[in-house]
């Protein structure tokens, strides 16, 4: 028998011993969520519930397997839960039996992402028309639009208006492509991953099928309920419709995946959807110090739409989270690198240190400094800055302008263009060997290319002309700006679902370029950074702990002894988009809360006073920092300010320089806005 009273705290025990009826377990960060749901399953089994009558739904098969493993250890049995897995896994099993009711054969195929993209590409050929000066969205972008529409139960036009406004004029064509895609899948007796959920819900509209499984599943348990979308919530409601013994575990304060169509309203409205719901709060945190939790509680308290929770801990470190404003992004990177060295020297293992950021491009300066300091790091959530394809693209455009003979750069930029394959690109490269005047580049394609490839060449020429329009061809920053405002931007928007993030990366590259007076100098430094990236990749393959660099989204569920949250500047975190999207600001605040609660012992908050989100302009601290009580932070600003306080120029270290030179601010000064000057 399991000794529940000694192995669980009172909060967990109440949830585990809950009897019948709907139950909502609000599990705060680090409060033992997995422990609670595992013991609940074990409790049901010990009390004679047949495993066939338990449905356990998780978001990954790994999570389901881990819970089953723990449950087996607790019970001393090798009993498995036959109905444990992801929404898609459960849907597939039942659809294999009842697919004919929906017009499919039982041997239907499941399309993976590549299969789906290929079929959408085929459908697009029949409907796409080029917009004026605009490319048509790629199959991958169309796939994202169609998928989001299905998971959010929103129309295609509605999705375009919300997430892809640049494609709104093409709403009719995209809707036609989506409809044709649905038809072709049905004709091929195939479903994609979205269909598994949509069709499962349709199947459950059949009273007989719904009643069969709703009767079978006497107990329904759902993990990470805050991450469910509307369809998933509807599925669960039908499966729990007979016995009403549904227990969901989640934390509304950690709902950060609306971009995947997750709907925080599912957990916020749970008690309304299931009358008689008992709510249990797990508020004892086993991860973070008292001081860190105080900051987390202070921040999340500002959200209006939430269940009020107050995380508490049994330990007190005595170390307040610290706030460190820095002069600019380079100063911030230097500071964080210095603190990391200090932590390592004082005995903190490298893999117990993490630097978290809102967007991938925020890490660029820091990556450079870590490499210079010889600190190996593991980048989570994508490629390192100078390894990203669009960054390499822009550098390639600059390289051909700087050096006609750069064959690899020419091949890279030409191969982007429609109709220009390796053979055509090779012809151009060969012809360029005889070019001495940069103006003559424009006519090369006309001379050596066939008709099919000329369209792509003309598109390249537009980008080339945009670069040549600059007064000088040595200003790297101006040239990057020209590239961003050329057809290359259309290429990014048409080919990639994350085009906004890629454009932000390029904007960051532009900021980096402003430090250099000569194009050649900038390209040399960029090349060195690429080389450093290769070196670090080699180091990555070696054993040994590494500092973690991660977006906050990728860090959810993880923890480290020391955490740095960087670029907490106005315009950067929260980003401007948060103010334009419904409930955007509250989700950004939840994201900040998730970042804070990854830290166990040390928490450092930093922001640059310039360049955080607006190039070289002044950027005050994030509004989220202003929501933290001043007594909770070890504030390293030389001047802490409240509303209405006038800066003392001398004390703040502000100096003014003539002849329109930039404003200089000493590290450590604290400026909220231009108005405070």
| SS3 readout for 266-301 | HHHCHHHHCCCCEEEEECECCCCCHHHHHHHHHHHC
Catalytic residue among 238, 590, 598, 672: 598
In contact, 220 and 249? CB cutoff 8 Å: no
Q: Which of the following is catalytic: 117, 195, 223, 481?
A: 223
Annotated catalytic residue 254: yes
Structure tokens of 511? 């900021």
Stated length of the chain: 677
- The yes-or-no answer on residue 238 being catalytic is no
d(CA 232, CA 201): 8
- Which residue among the candidates 12, 38, 58, 254 is catalytic per the annotation? 254
* Cα–Cα distance list, 605 to 332, 566, 668 (Å): 10, 6, 13
- As a whole number of angstroms, the distance between CA 602 and CA 592 comes to 16
Which member of 33, 218, 309, 672 is catalytic? 33
**Phi and psi based region of residue 322 (left: phi greater than 0; alpha: psi -120 to 50; beta: remaining):** beta
- b/e map 344-374, b = 16+ CB within 10 Å: beeebebebbbbbbbbbbbbbbbbbbbbeee
Catalytic residue among 14, 34, 216, 521: 34
CA-to-CA dists, residue 515 to 470, 511, 619, angstroms? 18, 8, 19
Give the chain's radius of gyration (CA, Å): 28
**Cα dist from 353 to 318, 480, 543, whole Å:** 19, 34, 17
Q: Which one from 117, 224, 406, 587 is the annotated catalytic residue?
A: 224
Active site residue 589: no
Strand partners, 407: none
- Residue 308 makes CB contacts below 8 A (sequence gap 6+) with 301
CA 267 – CA 277 distance, rounded (Å): 12
Q: Which residues of 437-450 are buried (b: 16+ CB within 10 A; e: fewer)?
A: eeeebbebbeebbe
Contact 112, 191 (CB under 8 A): no
Residues forming the active site: 33-34, 223-224, 254, 598
């Amino acid at each position: 028998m399991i000794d529940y009273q000694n192995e669980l705290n009172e909060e967990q025990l109440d949830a585990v011993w809950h009897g019948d009826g709907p139950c909502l377990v609000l599990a705060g960060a680090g409060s033992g969520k997995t422990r609670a749901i595992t013991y609940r399953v074990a409790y049901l089994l010990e009390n004679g519930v047949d495993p066939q009558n338990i449905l356990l739904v998780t978001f990954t098969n790994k999570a389901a397997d881990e819970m089953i493993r723990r449950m087996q250890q607790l019970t001393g049995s090798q009993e498995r839960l036959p109905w444990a897995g992801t929404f898609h896994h459960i849907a597939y099993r039942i659809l294999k039996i009842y697919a004919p009711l929906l017009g499919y054969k039982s041997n239907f195929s499941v399309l993976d992402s590549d299969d789906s993209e290929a079929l959408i590409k085929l459908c697009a050929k029949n409907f796409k028309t080029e917009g004026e000066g605009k490319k048509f969205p790629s199959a991958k972008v169309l796939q994202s639009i169609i998928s989001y529409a299905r998971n959010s139960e929103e129309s295609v036009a509605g999705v375009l208006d919300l997430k892809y406004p640049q494609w709104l004029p093409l709403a009719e064509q995209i809707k036609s492509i989506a409809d044709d895609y649905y038809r072709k899948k049905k004709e091929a007796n195939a479903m994609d991953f979205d269909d598994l959920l949509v069709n499962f819900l349709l199947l459950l509209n059949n009273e007989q099928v719904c009643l069969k499984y709703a009767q079978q599943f006497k107990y329904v348990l759902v993990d990470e309920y805050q991450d469910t979308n509307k369809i998933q919530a509807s599925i669960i409601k039908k499966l729990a419709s007979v016995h009403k013994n549904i227990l969901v575990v989640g934390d509304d304060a950690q709902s950060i995946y609306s971009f995947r169509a997750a709907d925080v309203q599912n957990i916020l409205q749970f008690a309304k959807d299931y009358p008689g719901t008992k709510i249990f709060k797990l508020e004892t945190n086993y991860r973070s110090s008292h001081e860190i939790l105080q900051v987390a509680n202070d921040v999340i308290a500002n959200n209006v739409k939430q269940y009020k929770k107050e995380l508490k801990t049994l330990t007190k470190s005595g170390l307040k989270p610290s706030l460190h404003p820095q002069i600019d992004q380079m100063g911030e990177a230097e500071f964080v690198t210095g603190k990391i060295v200090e932590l390592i020297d004082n005995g903190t293992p490298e893999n117990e240190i993490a630097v978290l950021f809102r967007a991938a491009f925020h890490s660029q300066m820091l990556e450079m400094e870590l490499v210079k300091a010889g600190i190996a790091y593991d980048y989570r959530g994508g490629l390192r800055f100078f390894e990203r394809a669009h960054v390499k693209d822009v550098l390639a455009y600059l390289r051909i302008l700087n050096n006609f003979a750069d064959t690899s750069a020419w091949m890279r930029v030409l191969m982007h263009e429609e109709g220009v394959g390796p053979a055509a690109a090779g012809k151009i490269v060969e012809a360029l060997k005889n070019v001495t005047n940069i103006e003559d580049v424009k006519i090369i394609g006309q001379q050596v290319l066939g008709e099919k490839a000329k369209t792509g060449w003309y598109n390249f020429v537009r980008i080339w002309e945009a670069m040549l329009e600059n007064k000088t061809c040595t200003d790297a920053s101006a040239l990057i700006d020209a590239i961003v405002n050329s057809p290359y931007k259309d290429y990014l928007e048409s080919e990639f679902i994350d085009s906004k993030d890629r454009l932000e990366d390029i904007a960051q590259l532009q900021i980096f370029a402003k430090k250099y007076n000569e194009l050649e100098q900038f390209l040399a430094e960029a090349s060195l950074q690429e080389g450093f990236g290769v070196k670090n990749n080699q180091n990555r393959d070696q054993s040994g702990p590494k500092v973690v660099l991660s977006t906050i989204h990728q860090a959810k569920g993880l923890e480290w002894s020391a955490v740095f949250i960087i670029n907490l500047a106005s315009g950067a975190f929260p980003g401007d988009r948060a103010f334009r999207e419904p409930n955007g600001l509250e989700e950004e605040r939840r994201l900040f809360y998730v970042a804070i609660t990854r830290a166990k012992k040390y928490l450092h908050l930093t922001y640059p006073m310039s360049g955080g989100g607006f190039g070289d302009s002044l950027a005050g601290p994030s509004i989220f920092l202003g929501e933290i009580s001043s007594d909770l932070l070890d504030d390293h600003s030389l001047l802490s300010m409240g509303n209405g306080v006038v800066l003392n120029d001398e004390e703040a270290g502000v100096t003014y320089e003539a002849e329109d030179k930039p404003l200089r601010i000493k590290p450590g000064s604290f400026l909220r806005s231009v108005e405070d000057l």
